[in-house]
Amino acid sequence: MANGKRQKPPGVGCSALCVGVLVAVVVIIVLLCISLIVVYENEGQVVAKVDLYDVELPAEQTVWFEANLAELRNAFRVVDENKKRAKNVVLFIALDSAAASPGDPRPVWESFPHLALLRPTTSDGAGASVSFNPTAMFCGIEPRHRHTVGFDSAVSPSDDCNEPPNSTHRAASILQWAQAVGRLTGVVTNGELVQPTPAALYAHTPNSSWLYVGPDEQQCPDVRTQLLYGETGRALNVIAGTLPCPEEFCREAFESAWEGERLDADTSYKLATELKELLDPALDEREYALGLFERQTLAQPNAFHDLTVGALHVLDRPEGFVLVAIADPSVPIGAAEVDAAVKATLRKLSTVLDDSLIVVVRSDAREGDAAFATVHATGPMSHLLHRVHDQTFLAHFISYAARIGRFRDADLTNFILQMV
């Protein structure tokens, strides 16, 4: 206490130093953690590098390690979600068809960033087979019976037309939704245009066997009549496939009536009599196109490709479009042929891919009728495909992505979007 000064207790200076060192160590650790986070996560993209041990392997093993190393690199590339409105939609349907051949290269759709499974559902009561239903996929509602087309579950199959189905139970399809907002529409198939799968896009019938003849043309028109004169059918910009009518000159009569409709409306059109005509670039100047071909013509290699390319020539316009391309299960076709059509689509739309949703729905015929279907997608809103979905989800997914149907934009918004 000499000179009135208090002496420091022994060890106090050391404790302060220790506290300072401890704080510094904590700060350094925090900074290291932050730096590690920055290194490992840069705006959602993993950029960390992992050492790869150099191991001598036989060539037969090296090829697989190198291929899968490339797959891992791709997996680390986080794809930004495209949340734009899908101005264009191309939907490929290849159910129970398009089997891959040994040695075929991987199809382009396997490189699409988003993938999901579609689950089929059982109809017609207990014990019925499980399969995909076109009304469910294209209209987004599950019908009760597989023998009805374009109707909801309130409508049962009918062998006569004594009680015509109530029109309120008609199910609107993705093509009808698209037409309602001014989009161009088309359906192409290497099979029969009036079979249930394409028919669900434009027709409504309580009996799927009424392809060319119905019991009452006014109350219950057949599918062919609805393709020609129905609200959705007559508005289709592109129709291509086969129409093997039972009566003579049926195809010629259909072509003549369709051409008359186009002339009455004073619209430009192309009536293709040979498949190669669909590859004519002059189709870009046509508003409508019809191609009815023989079965053997559509069974030829590249036929599915030509149908798709021809449709895109007509549909690729500023107002946008929805195209459905169907690979008929009854027509022998390899996965490579569907792959060629998808690749041609990507090339044709290369300048507008950011606004174009490309979807491929496929199942393998070898797996039986209860198999799930894979859905591969790229483009606007494709990230919404992310797990196992009911088959009805397909229509609602496309509706949301393209802003059609119940998700349609206001009329003024649609008008402005078509101008930009």
- pLDDT, average across residues 358-376: 78
- Report whether pLDDT(253) > 70: yes
Q: Which of 328, 303, 334 is nearest to 196 (CA)?
A: 328
Distances (CA, A) of 102 to 105, 106, 328, 334: 9, 11, 21, 11
What count of residues does the chain have?
Answer: 420
Q: Is residue 197 part of an annotated ligand binding site?
A: yes
Strands 121-122 and 388-390: unpaired
Give the span between the Cα atoms of 303 and 301, in whole angstroms.
6
Q: What is the DSSP string of 43-55?
A: TTEE---------
Question: 200 in the Ramachandran plot: left (φ > 0), alpha (ψ -120 to 50) or beta?
Answer: alpha
- Report whether pLDDT(143) > 50: yes
Give the span between the Cα atoms of 148 and 134, in whole angstroms.
10
The reported pLDDT for the residue numbered 288 is: 97
Which of the pair, 59 or 353, is modelled with greater confidence? 353
The reported pLDDT for the residue numbered 70 is: 78
The reported pLDDT for the residue numbered 122 is: 61
Q: pLDDT tens digits for 274-314?
A: 999 999 988 999 999 999 999 999 999 899 999 999 999 99
Residue 124 confidence class, pLDDT cut points 50, 70, 90: low
Write down the mean pLDDT value for the chain.
Answer: 84
Distances (CA, A) of 22 to 15, 16, 28: 10, 10, 10
Residue 40 confidence class, pLDDT cut points 50, 70, 90: very low
The reported pLDDT for the residue numbered 299 is: 92
Residue 19 confidence class, pLDDT cut points 50, 70, 90: confident
- Report whether pLDDT(200) > 90: yes
The reported pLDDT for the residue numbered 334 is: 83
User: What single DSSP character describes residue 170?
Assistant: B
Distances (CA, A) of 395 to 81, 89, 390: 20, 12, 10
Which of the pair, 27 or 112, is modelled with greater confidence? 112
Which of the pair, 100 or 365, is modelled with greater confidence? 100
Q: Which of 330, 315, 294 is nearest to 238 (CA)?
A: 315
Task: Give me 278's structure tokens.
Answer: 């669909």
- Report whether pLDDT(25) > 90: no
The reported pLDDT for the residue numbered 202 is: 97
- Report whether pLDDT(185) > 90: yes
161-165, 168-172, 368-372, 400-404: lowest mean pLDDT where?
368-372
Q: Which residue type sits at 402?
A: A
Residue 43 confidence class, pLDDT cut points 50, 70, 90: very low
Task: Give me 418's structure tokens.
Answer: 């078509």
